Chains A and B, each alone.
Chain A
Amino acid sequence: MQTTSLPNKQDDFWPDFLRGMKTSLPLLIAFVPFGLLLGSQAVQKGFSIAEVPLLTGLNFAGGSEFAAVGLWSIPPAILLLAGVTFLINSRHILMSAALAPHLRHLPRWKVFLLLFFMCDEVWALTLTDLHARPGRRFSMGFYAGITVCLYLCWVIFTFMGGYSGNLLGDLTRYGVDMAFPAVFIMLLKGMWKGARNALPWCVSLGVAVLVYHFLPGAWYVPAGTLAGILTSLLVVRSI
């Protein structure tokens, strides 16, 4: 008796790859200017031009990279940088946990490779896609498509930002920074399953705003998330 059908046949890899690339294209509105901005700030802070793509290519986590550039000194304070990076990226622990049930059928080395590239946007687009697909099947092609597009774009444009220096000036004057919350709000819309499930999100947002207001650093992310999880315990109990 056949219990499961074979997931991810070779022949839907390339169509899904193209679909992933197409899905990630709008995000370049945010990735290109912010990549240029990060690169130019990094060079002004004392990064060499070769170190910029190394930072962005090995981390691939925009939030912690901006923080690292802000805290950069010569010589760099390694423990401080590592600590802040952990604080900002600790959300990835929960993100990869949420993805874990869908990666069960894959060999570990493949998962370890995939997770290297799991930035916020890659993760969120993948999860949204999973929820839209019958049987919630993970698509390797889709994941690879988004990753290739976003990763190359990020590394190339941060490098170009470092190479060309401060060409753009202060982007936030023009509202480009609104592109990021716009992406995240769209992703939340994709995960929308009724107001009841959204209550923990609102609690998470509210607590995070308060913590951000009163505590320095990136504590608002774990604090808000924790409050949201506690609320979801109550919501799920009453289902």
Chain B
Amino acid sequence: MILHTPALLAILAMALVTYLTRISGYLLLAGRHLSPRMQAIMDIVPGCVLAAVIAPDFATGHPADLLGLAATILAATRFSLLPTMLCGVITTGILRTILN
């Protein structure tokens, strides 16, 4: 159980940056009233962020991964979270074994 000062400083710096990103959006909008149009946009923005975050999974060139992703999406239209995850993980695992 050792802590090194440079490592500690690096971890604290990262923690500070992460925390600042988390409060700054709130600080920008707190106490402001959003117009209906702005509100409608704010309803769409979270989905944009989510879609952008999973982009690397779609950018893969491996057919097994793309097919696994397609299976996950298909499962998501029918099932709840747990079966969808299992379906995605198992399908992808099997496809990787077969196709690689």
Choice from A96, A183, A205 contacting B52 with Cβ under 8 Å? A205
Contact yes or no, B14 A182, CB < 8 A: no
Q: Are A98 and B45 in contact (CB under 8 A)?
A: yes
- A54 CB contacts on chain B under 8 angstroms: 3, 8, 11
Is A188 a contact partner of B25 (Cβ separation < 8 A)? Answer: no
Given A178-B69, A205-B51: A26 touches B81 (CB 8 Å cut-off)? yes
Name the residue in A29, A51, A198 with the highest tally of chain B Cβ atoms < 10 Å from its Cβ. Answer: A51
Interface residues in B74-99 (C-beta closer than 8 Å to A) = 75-77, 80-82, 84-96
> Which listed residue (B46, B87, B93) contacts A191, Cβ 8 A?
B46
For chain B, residues 34 to 77, give those with C-beta under 8 angstroms from any C-beta of chain A: 34, 37, 39-59, 65, 68-69, 72-73, 75-77
Establish whether residues A182 and B85, one from each chain, have CB atoms under 8 Å apart when the complex forms.
yes
Query: A18 — which chain B residues lie within 8 A by C-beta?
Result: none
Cβ contact within 8 Å between A186 and B81? yes
How long is the Cα–Cα vector from A174 to B91 in the complex, in angstroms?
A: 9
Complex-state Cα separation, A183 to B57, whole angstroms: 13
Assembled-state Cα–Cα distance A60/B17 (Å): 12
**A-B interface pairs (CB < 8 A), number:** 297
Among residues of B, the one whose C-beta sits closest to the C-beta of A192 is B47
Contact residues in B for A180 (Cβ distance below 8 Å): 54, 57
How long is the Cα–Cα vector from A97 to B92 in the complex, in angstroms?
A: 35
- A14 CB within 8 Å of chain B: no
Q: How far is the CB of A142 from chain B (nearest CB, A)?
A: 16
A93 (CB) vs chain B CBs: closest residue: B25
Residues of chain A within 8 A of B96, CB atoms compared: 173-175
Q: Which residue numbers of A lie inside 8 Å of B, CB to CB?
A: 26-27, 29-30, 47-51, 54-55, 58-61, 63-64, 68, 74-78, 81-82, 85-86, 89-101, 103-104, 108, 111-112, 115-116, 118, 120, 123-124, 127, 173-189, 191, 193, 197-198, 200-205, 207-209, 211-213, 220-225, 227-229, 232-233, 235-237, 239
Can you list the 7 inter-chain pairs with the closest CB atoms, starting with the nearest? A228-B48, A224-B52, A175-B93, A97-B25, A175-B92, A208-B55, A96-B25
26 inter-chain pairs at a CB distance below 8 angstroms, sorted by A residue, are: A48-B7, A51-B11, A54-B8, A63-B53, A74-B6, A81-B14, A85-B17, A92-B25, A97-B42, A99-B25, A111-B30, A115-B26, A179-B89, A181-B54, A182-B89, A189-B76, A201-B44, A202-B51, A208-B53, A222-B52, A224-B48, A224-B55, A228-B45, A228-B51, A228-B52, A229-B45
